[in-house]
């Protein structure tokens, strides 16, 4: 067994003096993770639906100066607390932009949240299993597909993960503290501060994770005295002091609307029924895990025998208490999205890394080496699939994409060779490099250049051909929130009938008509005795539901009378 697992007898982190190798290990970790997370951050257009909703609400917050009530268009947005809007608004201000900041500015809190989560995983891993395991665990979470996606989306989950890992770090220190050692007040405040940030970002998820972990450990050990290390008499008032001011402000401003929408319509409704067609049976998160946690999922599976053999070791027990109860809760909830179980992924990374760095006798079993090979092949298949999708969308393949795909396949073949000949430990290093190459291909080349995936920018380009300046715009048949971010919050949505009526009003106006609303638009114009002028056409694939749409952009005919003089 790895001696580092006996973390309770190890010196506290604060008492350790990191040597040069530890410093370089940290530099290497940050470099690797940023290389995986940065591709696409600046170049991928705004993504529907959640990113567009959060970013547009934050943009309107900066524009209006109202930092209490988030709004999306003309409606209040009460599904989530205020925290992410404040962070995104702060990013706009700190980077020197105004409300019209580009989307990458709104993504910065997610990037920094992901980086904090990775560094927090490294800190937890060092405490539980030693520096080598901590590095590998942090690298696995930092190169995972799910974090590579969440870090470049302007939404809540990467920031929530940072709060969750920070809270679990303090919890681990309290649980594994040697006899006679007492956590300082700053550690307790850090824990309760992380709980407060979690609440302000996404409600009860982070406190729930900490509570489930602590309760599971107390039941397993049949003792709870270690929880006194968290100083709840000091920490709970501190947490409430951070959370209550905004809750009171929103209660005064909007009554119980926020609580009814966020708790009743969003949180509890997701528990009971599958919202927005995301209802799936128990086991769905487990199925998604094999893709979301690539390339580390195979390492987790290979670690299962070691985890079982060491399940009574306090460090392993802590990770299991972190993972299992939280995962079960979300498997039982009706609504399922891949990022719901993200706060449990660092525990999986820690267990996989601890198993991989633990002393062992003899070579890896064949089934473990096959798992490593399959992980390598999975990355190669992902690269090939991205080229196929790009070709179906755009009808050609960029040479750079082809070159990167070949590179990914070559690295995958080498990783597979390492897994079969030398085992998982040798393959793991190559898999991290394969992940880096794949993410450059997917997020820096394929996604930004697959222009038909991004309808809102294509609509903006089409509207630029409208012959009058600053037209009022209505969109019929495509109401994704990215339209508000790209075309402006005053953009209106409707069907073909309302679009015809809108265009019949005086002033500089343009309408964008999706193909499934074209017939209604034409019928209504016949009733109005109008013949709008077609300006241009465009098309695209709705990234939120994969539906292909064609659009016609119209303005009023130059000699057409306004609706004031037209009798339907």
Calpha distance 199→160 (Å, rounded): 9
Contact 229, 188 (CB under 8 A): yes
C-alpha distances (whole Å) from 427 to each of 34, 100, 339, 374, 417 are 21, 45, 27, 11, 8
Please name which of 563, 444, 509 lies closest in space to residue 148, comparing C-alpha atoms.
444
Please report, for the chain, how many H helices and E strands are present, in that order.
24, 7
pLDDT of residue 561: 56
Mean pLDDT by 10 residues, the chain (568 residues): 41 39 90 98 96 97 96 92 98 97 98 98 97 97 98 98 98 92 94 98 97 98 95 97 97 90 74 64 96 98 97 97 98 93 98 95 93 98 98 96 98 98 96 98 98 97 94 97 96 98 96 98 97 96 92 85 45
Residue 506 CA to residue 381 CA, distance in Å, equals 55
Contact 114, 343 (CB under 8 A): no
In this structure, are residues 150 and 190 in contact, taking their beta carbons and an 8 Å threshold? no
Helices (H), 452-560: 455-463, 482-487, 496-503, 518-528
Helix (H, G, I), strand (E, B) or coil at 231: coil
Q: Tell me, what's the pLDDT at 15?
A: 35
Distance CA 514, CA 521 (A): 10
* CA-to-CA dists, residue 121 to 60, 138, 230, 490, angstroms: 34, 5, 20, 43
Task: Outline where 222-361 has alpha helix (H).
Answer: 232-254, 257-259, 269-272, 284-292, 297-309, 314-332, 345-357
Q: Which pLDDT value is given to residue 544?
A: 83
pLDDT score for 276: 58
Asked whether the beta carbons of 427 and 24 are under 8 A apart, the reply is: no
For residues 376 and 372, give the distance between their C-alpha atoms in angstroms, rounded to a whole number.
6
- Which residue in 518, 527, 538 sits closest to 460, CA to CA? 538
pLDDT of residue 182: 87
Write down the pLDDT at residue 259: 87
Q: How many residues does the chain have?
A: 568
């Amino acid at each position: 067994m790895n001696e580092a697992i006996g973390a309770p007898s190890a010196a506290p982190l604060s008492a350790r003096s990191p040597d040069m190798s530890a410093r370089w290990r940290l530099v290497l970790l940050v470099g690797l993770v940023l290389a995986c997370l940065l591709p696409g951050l600046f170049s991928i257009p705004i993504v529907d639906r959640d990113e567009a909703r959060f970013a547009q609400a934050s943009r309107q917050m900066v524009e209006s100066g109202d930092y209490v009530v988030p709004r999306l268009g003309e409606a209040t947005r009460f599904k989530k607390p205020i925290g992410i809007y404040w962070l995104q608004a702060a990013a706009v201000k700190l980077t020197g932009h105004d409300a019209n900041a580009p989307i990458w500015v709104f993504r910065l809190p997610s990037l920094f949240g992901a980086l904090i989560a990775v560094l927090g995983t490294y800190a937890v891993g060092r405490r539980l299993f030693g520096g080598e395991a901590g590095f590998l665990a942090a690298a696995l979470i930092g190169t995972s597909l799910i974090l590579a996606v969440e870090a470049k989306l302007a939404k809540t989950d990467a920031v929530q993960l940072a709060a969750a890992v920070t809270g679990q770090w303090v919890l681990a220190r309290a649980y594994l503290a040697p006899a006679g050692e007492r956590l300082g007040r700053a550690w307790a405040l850090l824990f309760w501060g992380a709980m407060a940030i979690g609440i302000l970002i996404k409600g009860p998820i982070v406190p729930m994770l900490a509570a489930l972990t602590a309760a599971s450990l107390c039941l397993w050990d049949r003792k709870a005295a270690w929880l006194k290390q968290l100083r709840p008499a000091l920490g709970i008032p501190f947490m409430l002091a951070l959370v209550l001011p905004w809750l009171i402000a929103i209660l005064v401003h909007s009554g119980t609307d926020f609580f009814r929408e966020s708790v009743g319509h969003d949180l509890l409704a997701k528990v009971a029924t599958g919202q927005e067609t995301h209802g799936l049976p128990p086991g769905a998160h487990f199925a998604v895990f094999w893709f979301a946690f690539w390339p580390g999922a195979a390492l987790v599976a290979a670690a299962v025998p070691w985890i079982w053999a060491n399940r009574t070791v306090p460090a392993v027990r802590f990770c299991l208490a972190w993972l299992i109860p939280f995962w079960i809760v979300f498997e039982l909830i009706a609504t399922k999205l891949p990022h719901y179980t993200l706060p449990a992924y660092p525990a999986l990374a820690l267990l996989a890394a601890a198993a991989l760095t633990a002393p062992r006798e003899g070579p890896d079993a064949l089934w473990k080496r096959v798992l490593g090979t399959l992980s390598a092949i999975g990355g190669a298949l992902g690269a090939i699939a991205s080229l196929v999708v790009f070709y179906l969308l755009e009808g050609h393949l960029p040479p750079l994409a082809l070159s990167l795909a070949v590179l990914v396949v070559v690295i995958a073949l080498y990783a597979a060779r390492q897994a079969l000949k030398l085992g998982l430990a040798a393959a793991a290093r190559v898999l991290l490099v394969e992940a880096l190459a794949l993410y450059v291909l997917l997020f820096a080349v394929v996604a930004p250049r697959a222009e038909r995936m991004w309808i809102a920018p294509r609509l903006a380009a089409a509207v630029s051909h409208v012959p009058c300046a600053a037209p009022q715009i209505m969109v019929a048949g495509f109401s994704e929130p990215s339209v508000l971010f790209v075309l402006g919050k005053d953009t209106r949505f409707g069907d073909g009938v309302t679009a015809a009526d809108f265009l019949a009003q005086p002033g500089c106006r343009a309408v964008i008509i999706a193909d499934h609303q074209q017939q209604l638009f034409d019928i209504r114009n016949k009733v109005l005795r109008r013949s709008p002028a077609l300006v241009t056409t465009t098309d695209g694939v709705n990234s939120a539901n994969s539906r292909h749409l064609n659009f016609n952009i119209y303005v009023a005919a130059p000699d057409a009378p306004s609706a004031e003089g037209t009798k339907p």
